[in-house]
A and B are shown apart, each in its own frame.
Chain A
Amino acid sequence: MNTVIRMESLRKEFDDLVAVNDLEVVIPEGEIYGLIGPNGAGKTTTIRMACGLLEPTGGRVSVCDVDVHTEPERAQQFIGYLSDFFSVYEDLKVWEYLDYFAHAYKMPESQIPARIEEAIGQVALEVKRDALIKGLSRGMKQRLGIARAVIHRPKVLLLDEPASGLDPKARMDLRNLLLSLRDLGTTILISSHILTELEGFCTSIGLMEKGRMVRSGTIEEITAAESQHRVVKMSWLGEAPGVEAKLQANPKVSGLMVQGAQAVFKVAGSAEDLAAILSELVAAGVRIISFAEVKQTVEDLYLKLSHHEVM
């Protein structure tokens, strides 16, 4: 798969402080990469460098193989950017705002009208097409901001805490919109410290802390690397006095907790080992009604990996 975003030895110093410390990030095409970390970890600085707003002290960022800082105007055709707190031009109408940015991104003139209608449709602002922006609600302005960021069909979307200040419904809409953009082939780099926002949505994550990338990769890769144990949760029907003893007798099982007809335990082994434990229990006459590995959430991973020194 093609690499779309590449950060090489990316570094930013503010006064005496190293805000981003020799970051190495490679994001392939079509990924939704979640940049997570506590406040002050360097996420915003990284995104601002990636979209060309901040000049790095050292290293380079390239988007679609174009250096963002040596060829900024060329690189911008591939980049859509949205920050956490932003304003819009209140004295323009919704379609005028998008028309302005479509021209500013130098889209072909013939494609602009259709693209404006399409973008307005994507963020469900059809009824407000001819309304002045100053009359829109905060959520609508946020959606308009997203439409602005994608108006030129960028290959890369850089989103810095895009859901901050949005209500749950608007967050859900944003999530769905981003998923549809991913389906269209857009690569998304999204930063957030609200981890539930990224849950079940990012294909990869990078955990930043104090300017450094602590871990980076797909959620499965990181889970596999970080977890020596699989956590299993099971429940059964009726009395099963031998369950606890059976599990404790298995050398691969640890951390067993039994409560009524439910048990949670860790297994140091592969999926084959899980299957073997299940067969053993069924053979012993335990009437199992559920037996499942507990998947790690982004939050679990974050808590496991981070040092929590800034939070």
Chain B
Amino acid sequence: MKFWRNPEFVRYVRAELRPARAVTAALVAEVVCVLVGLACWSAENEHPHMFFQTFYGWLVGIQYVVLGVWCASSCGQAICRERELKTYDFLRTTRLTAGELLVGKILGVPAMAYFVVACSLPVSVVCGILAGFPVRVVAETYVLLIAFALFFSLVALSASMLIEKTTAGMVGLLGLLSNALVLPFAKSPFPGFAAVSIFPALFSLHGLRQFDVARTTPTLVGIELPYFPLTLLLYVALGAWLVLMLVRNLKKDPEQIRLLSRWQAIGLVAFLNILFYALLNPKHLATSPAYDTITPGDLAGLAVVLNAALLFLVGIAILTSREKLTVWWRKWSSGMESYWSEFGLPWPWLVPAAGIAFLFLLGEALGMLHAFPLHNWEAGKAALQLLIFLVFTTRDILFLQWCVLTRMKRPVIKGFLFLWLYYAAAATTTMVVSLGSSAAGRHLVALLTPYGPYQQERPRLTSDLDVYLGMALGVVVIFFILMAITKRLQRAPTVPEAAAA
């Protein structure tokens, strides 16, 4: 189906762009252009070239802000608002596929913003060319603008699908903040991560070298690449994952939403690991650390921390709803389902996710064998750290799964808060115990948290012993949580008396 014939898109265009509104919006856009032009002229009236540059810069800036904020806030409300109004059920009972619904919403919800930008486009394009920018640069600026708007619309729409309140619009707007948050990566060993932001690509396209980020060059698998194609590539790749999550879930009941299947979750872990190593600039890797380099051992440590976060996120993404888990339990008990089933307990799937993370680390180490010997990577330490994180993450995810089986409202959020409380209590207790004996404090940290192996100042053997004890304790807790889950699953559902009669 062509997107301009998509019923959802047509609906928004009809509602948003009625002739009177469209004419008013176009007039406002032109008036704003004139006002900005006059303001720029008053500042740069002696240098026409500078005037056009300033005018173009302001117009492009305004277009990015208008489109970004509009897309993020309106797409952030697109689904939750319809759920609140009870119109979404009718959409779900039409023959529109989730993909068609997605296209219609992404392009249709911010239709007015696209229209306003389109109205000011001729002025900004002419200004850009008169300012001396090549046509290619002006064209790339707008390709980037469209990619930026689509990507953040996808982020906001995902938030809208997951959050039941219209505050999802705020979540969408917060997503825009990532544009500023990732900028420091430009000067790190992973400059490519800064390309998630729109700024490095825009600054380097227009040669604004007064900004630090415009003077850095990112790499992809060690090859230097301008920010523009890398930003596009990242938006396409990350956007594809968001599209997958949306298409899987857009027509589902909120209770049935699960962002990814278990295999897809494993795929996401693999993809993000590939991205991590691909965006590393190998020039920043050295055997001894300096102010702008890291050692292979540090890189392995970073990979472990990244994968610890990924394990937790993947664990949350593959939690099973109470209903599905109960059905799985009945089938598994009667031998009709495997323990690795799509709707079984999530923990068995964390093991391959951690395994994949370690395999990628080994792959990177072997790939760079010509530059760094294997022992530089401290693979054994990384494996131990990953194992510890696996045990603690498994424990925490199973606890969240248990919360899902209780009658709590918003069990995942509450469970997450309980976990946060646990780690805060563990940290406070450790600090209090450390006041009496720092060694006792270190033992406690290793027992209660996965932070044990990160303590530098301890003798290695003692450290390892604590760490193993901590893991053993984690395994015992996992066993008890599994027992508690089993007990809940074994409960027979309540059949109302009249029905049983």
- Of residues 176 to 228 in A, which have CB atoms within 8 Å of B's CB atoms? 209-212, 214
Take A57-B323, A88-B87, A89-B87 as given contacts and tell me if A309 and B497 are in contact as well, using a CB distance cutoff of 8 Å.
Answer: yes
Query: Across the interface, do A96 and B95 meet the contact criterion of CB distance under 8 Å?
Result: no
The reply to whether the CB of B493 lies closer than 8 angstroms to some CB of chain A is yes
Q: Which of A13, A77, A100, A214 contacts B10 (CB 8 A)?
A: A100
Take A53-B253, A307-B498 as given contacts and tell me if A89 and B15 are in contact as well, using a CB distance cutoff of 8 Å.
Answer: yes
**CA–CA, A233 and B481, complex, Å:** 69
Take A13-B323, A58-B327, A92-B15 as given contacts and tell me if A106 and B95 are in contact as well, using a CB distance cutoff of 8 Å.
Answer: yes
**CA–CA, A96 and B10, complex, Å:** 10
The reply to whether the CB of B136 lies closer than 8 angstroms to some CB of chain A is no
A104 to chain B, nearest CB (A): 4
**CA–CA, A98 and B388, complex, Å:** 58
Query: Across the interface, do A104 and B94 meet the contact criterion of CB distance under 8 Å?
Result: yes
Q: Which of A16-24, A122-130, A235-243, A259-267 contacts B (4 or more CB under 8 A)?
A: A16-24
Q: Which of A16, A76, A211 contacts B95 (CB 8 A)?
A: A76
- Of residues 466 to 501 in B, which have CB atoms within 8 Å of A's CB atoms? 491, 493-499, 501
**CA–CA, A88 and B7, complex, Å:** 15
A160 to chain B, nearest CB (A): 10
The reply to whether the CB of A79 lies closer than 8 angstroms to some CB of chain B is yes
**CA–CA, A81 and B10, complex, Å:** 22
Query: Across the interface, do B89 and A83 meet the contact criterion of CB distance under 8 Å?
Result: yes
**CA–CA, A4 and B253, complex, Å:** 25
Chain A, interface size: which category?
A: 35 or more
Name the B residues within 8 Å of A21 (CB-CB).
Answer: 495-496, 499
**CA–CA, A211 and B497, complex, Å:** 10
The reply to whether the CB of B177 lies closer than 8 angstroms to some CB of chain A is no
Take A13-B493, A72-B251 as given contacts and tell me if A52 and B11 are in contact as well, using a CB distance cutoff of 8 Å.
Answer: no
**Contact code string B85-100 (vs A, CB < 8 Å = 1, else 0):** 1110111111111000
Query: Across the interface, do A18 and B494 meet the contact criterion of CB distance under 8 Å?
Result: yes
**CA–CA, A79 and B90, complex, Å:** 11
B318 to chain A, nearest CB (A): 18
**Contact code string B276-294 (vs A, CB < 8 Å = 1, else 0):** 0000000000000000000
Nearest residue, chain B, Cβ from A12: B323
The reply to whether the CB of B326 lies closer than 8 angstroms to some CB of chain A is yes
**CA–CA, A16 and B498, complex, Å:** 16
Name the A residues within 8 Å of B5 (CB-CB).
Answer: 103
Q: Which of A51, A81, A86, A211 contacts B496 (CB 8 A)?
A: A211
Query: Across the interface, do B494 and A105 meet the contact criterion of CB distance under 8 Å?
Result: no
Name the A residues within 8 Å of B24 (CB-CB).
Answer: none
The reply to whether the CB of B47 lies closer than 8 angstroms to some CB of chain A is no
Query: Across the interface, do B11 and A211 meet the contact criterion of CB distance under 8 Å?
Result: no
Query: Across the interface, do B15 and A53 meet the contact criterion of CB distance under 8 Å?
Result: no
**CA–CA, A210 and B497, complex, Å:** 8
The reply to whether the CB of A293 lies closer than 8 angstroms to some CB of chain B is no
Name the A residues within 8 Å of B495 (CB-CB).
Answer: 18, 21, 211
Nearest residue, chain A, Cβ from B321: A55
Query: Across the interface, do A212 and B493 meet the contact criterion of CB distance under 8 Å?
Result: no
Query: Across the interface, do A148 and B90 meet the contact criterion of CB distance under 8 Å?
Result: yes
Name the A residues within 8 Å of B256 (CB-CB).
Answer: 55
The reply to whether the CB of B410 lies closer than 8 angstroms to some CB of chain A is no
Query: Across the interface, do A51 and B93 meet the contact criterion of CB distance under 8 Å?
Result: yes
Query: Across the interface, do A86 and B327 meet the contact criterion of CB distance under 8 Å?
Result: no
**CA–CA, A87 and B95, complex, Å:** 19
**CA–CA, A34 and B407, complex, Å:** 34
Name the A residues within 8 Å of B87 (CB-CB).
Answer: 86-89
B492 to chain A, nearest CB (A): 9
Nearest residue, chain B, Cβ from A74: B95
Query: Across the interface, do A104 and B91 meet the contact criterion of CB distance under 8 Å?
Result: yes
**Contact code string A237-251 (vs B, CB < 8 Å = 1, else 0):** 000000000000000
**Contact code string B63-92 (vs A, CB < 8 Å = 1, else 0):** 000000000000000000000011101111
Name the A residues within 8 Å of B97 (CB-CB).
Answer: 73
The reply to whether the CB of A172 lies closer than 8 angstroms to some CB of chain B is no
Q: Which of A15, A58, A106, A211 contacts B322 (CB 8 A)?
A: A15
Take A73-B95, A92-B11 as given contacts and tell me if A18 and B323 are in contact as well, using a CB distance cutoff of 8 Å.
Answer: no
Q: Which of A72, A79, A148, A309 contacts B498 (CB 8 A)?
A: A309
Query: Which of B7, B90, B93, B94 has the largest number of chain A CB atoms within 10 A?
Result: B93
**CA–CA, A219 and B323, complex, Å:** 36
Query: Across the interface, do A52 and B93 meet the contact criterion of CB distance under 8 Å?
Result: yes
Name the B residues within 8 Å of A103 (CB-CB).
Answer: 5, 7, 10
Name the A residues within 8 Å of B497 (CB-CB).
Answer: 210, 309
Nearest residue, chain A, Cβ from B92: A53
Name the A residues within 8 Å of B89 (CB-CB).
Answer: 53, 81, 83, 86
**CA–CA, A115 and B476, complex, Å:** 66
**CA–CA, A21 and B493, complex, Å:** 11
The reply to whether the CB of B14 lies closer than 8 angstroms to some CB of chain A is yes
Q: Which of A57, A105, A148 contacts B327 (CB 8 A)?
A: A57
Nearest residue, chain A, Cβ from B496: A210
Query: Across the interface, do A18 and B493 meet the contact criterion of CB distance under 8 Å?
Result: yes
Nearest residue, chain B, Cβ from A158: B93
Q: Which of B7, B85, B92, B327 contacts A52 (CB 8 A)?
A: B92
Name the B residues within 8 Å of A52 (CB-CB).
Answer: 92-93
- Of residues 302 to 343 in B, which have CB atoms within 8 Å of A's CB atoms? 322-323, 326-327
Query: Across the interface, do A212 and B93 meet the contact criterion of CB distance under 8 Å?
Result: no
Nearest residue, chain B, Cβ from A214: B498
**Contact code string A60-91 (vs B, CB < 8 Å = 1, else 0):** 00000000000011001101010101111101
B404 to chain A, nearest CB (A): 11
The reply to whether the CB of A101 lies closer than 8 angstroms to some CB of chain B is yes
Name the A residues within 8 Å of B90 (CB-CB).
Answer: 81, 86, 101, 148
**CA–CA, A211 and B15, complex, Å:** 42
**CA–CA, A106 and B498, complex, Å:** 43
Name the B residues within 8 Å of A79 (CB-CB).
Answer: 93
Name the B residues within 8 Å of A148 (CB-CB).
Answer: 90
The reply to whether the CB of A54 lies closer than 8 angstroms to some CB of chain B is yes
Name the A residues within 8 Å of B498 (CB-CB).
Answer: 209-210, 212, 214, 307, 309
**CA–CA, A77 and B501, complex, Å:** 38
**CA–CA, A72 and B252, complex, Å:** 11
Query: Which of B11, B96, B252, B326 has the largest number of chain A CB atoms within 10 A?
Result: B11
**CA–CA, A96 and B497, complex, Å:** 49
Beyond A13-B323, A18-B494: 18 further Cβ-contacts under 8 Å?
A: A16-B407, A17-B493, A17-B494, A18-B495, A21-B496, A51-B93, A57-B323, A57-B326, A79-B93, A81-B89, A89-B11, A89-B87, A96-B11, A96-B14, A101-B94, A105-B94, A210-B496, A212-B499
A-B complex: 7 closest residue pairs judged by Cβ atoms: A210-B496, A212-B499, A104-B94, A103-B7, A91-B15, A210-B498, A87-B85
Question: Which B residues fall within an 8 A CB radius of A?
Answer: 5, 7-8, 10-11, 14-15, 85-87, 89-97, 251-253, 256, 322-323, 326-327, 407, 491, 493-499, 501
Instruction: Please list 9 pairs of residues, one from A and one from B, whose beta carbons are closer than 8 Å in the complex, sorted by A's number.
Output: A15-B322, A18-B493, A72-B251, A76-B94, A85-B86, A96-B14, A100-B7, A105-B94, A211-B495
